[in-house]
């Protein structure tokens, strides 16, 4: 197996046929008939970051869980380049697709290194505790997420932000070509928010990974995304480059308050929600 950090430093440009993981016509429900996502199409392409955005309850995380085969669609299908994702057993699927869920347990009685090693489970032979590439994958994942210095610390003594980075390292150690991230910047301070988003870009641009990520912060979404999927009440209301999807009229309707959109001096999208207590910008 080839580790991500040993791949060529320049990934091939994706083409229209490079869907690494797709959800087509996904209708997703909880309980009896409570449909929360309506016929959604989401395509993750090699070498690109696709951001799922939208208000609370819009269906972003539910779509991500469906792509990870953790939520069975009422209709539609999740496909890999070689066919229906359901054709693979759990271990085979986990060698191709990783999900970092929003809520992870706080593991007790194990070290940070042992938590990161969980990511190697799909690659381990059934009758042996380790795999040949495991130590290198774990070391690399801890290094790029900034948790190597805490490798021997008990995981249950970490802060929320530290533990978030440890679980991210475990996901990276899984070493897949598709990476699904549900709010990966939750609990992180400003430095690590920026570093995680930079890492997401590196994985796509330098290693050809297809990344699907749920983000609430629309300015973060605009900076990291190649394509943005905007959901509202379970319906995809916009899909494409973020500068096209994040327009003032659409955001005002979706979020239910006036939203202004502009570009700063570097060409970055800036989102300005207009609240009752809004103050004039300093001169």
Instruction: Mark 197-230 as b/e (b = at least 16 C-beta within 10 Å).
Output: bebbeebbbbbbbbbbbbbebbebbbbbbbbbbb
The pLDDT assigned to 53 comes to 97
Q: Determine the 3-state secondary structure of 52 from DSSP.
A: strand
Retrieve residue 83's tokens: 């066919």
Contact 51, 242 (CB under 8 A): yes
pLDDT in tens, the chain (283 residues): 344 544 333 344 444 456 899 999 999 998 777 899 999 999 999 999 999 999 999 999 999 999 999 999 999 999 999 999 999 999 999 999 999 998 787 888 999 999 999 999 999 887 666 788 999 999 999 999 999 999 999 999 999 889 989 999 999 999 999 999 999 998 889 999 999 999 999 999 998 999 999 999 999 999 999 999 999 999 999 999 999 999 999 999 999 999 999 988 878 899 999 987 765 555 5
Q: In what side-by-side order are the strands of the sheet with 97-100?
A: 97-100, 178-182, 210-214, 49-53, 227-232, 235-240
Q: Domains in the chain, start-ordered, CATH in brackets?
A: 7-96+176-242 (3.40.50.300), 106-175 (no CATH)
The pLDDT assigned to 106 comes to 80
The pLDDT assigned to 12 comes to 41
């Amino acid at each position: 197996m080839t580790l991500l950090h040993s791949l060529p430093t320049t990934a091939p440009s994706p083409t229209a046929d490079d869907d690494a993981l797709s959800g087509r016509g996904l209708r997703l429900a909880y309980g009896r008939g409570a449909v929360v996502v309506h016929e959604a199409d989401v395509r993750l392409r090699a070498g690109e970051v696709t951001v799922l955005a939208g208000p609370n309850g819009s269906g972003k995380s539910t779509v991500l869980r469906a792509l990870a085969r953790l939520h069975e669609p009422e209709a539609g299908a999740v496909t890999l380049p070689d066919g229906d994702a359901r054709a693979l057993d759990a271990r085979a699927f986990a060698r191709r697709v990783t999900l970092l869920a929003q809520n992870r347990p706080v593991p007790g009685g194990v070290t940070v290194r042992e938590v990161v090693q969980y990511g190697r489970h799909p690659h381990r032979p059934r009758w042996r505790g380790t795999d040949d590439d495991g130590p290198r994958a774990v070391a690399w994942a801890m290094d790029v997420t900034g948790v190597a210095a805490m490798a021997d610390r008990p995981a249950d003594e970490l802060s929320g932000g530290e533990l978030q980075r440890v679980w991210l390292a475990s996901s990276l150690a899984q070493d897949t070509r598709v990476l699904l991230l549900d709010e990966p910047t939750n609990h992180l301070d400003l430095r690590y928010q920026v570093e995680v988003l930079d890492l997401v870009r590196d994985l796509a641009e330098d290693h050809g990974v297809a990344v699907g990520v749920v983000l609430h912060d629309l300015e973060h979404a605009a900076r990291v995304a190649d394509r943005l999927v905007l959901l509202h009440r379970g319906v995809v209301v916009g899909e494409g480059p973020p500068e096209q999807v994040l327009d003032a009229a659409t955001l005002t309707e979706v979020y239910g308050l006036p939203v202004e959109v502009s570009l700063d001096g570097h060409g970055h999208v800036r989102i300005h929600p207009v609240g009752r207590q809004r103050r004039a910008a300093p001169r």
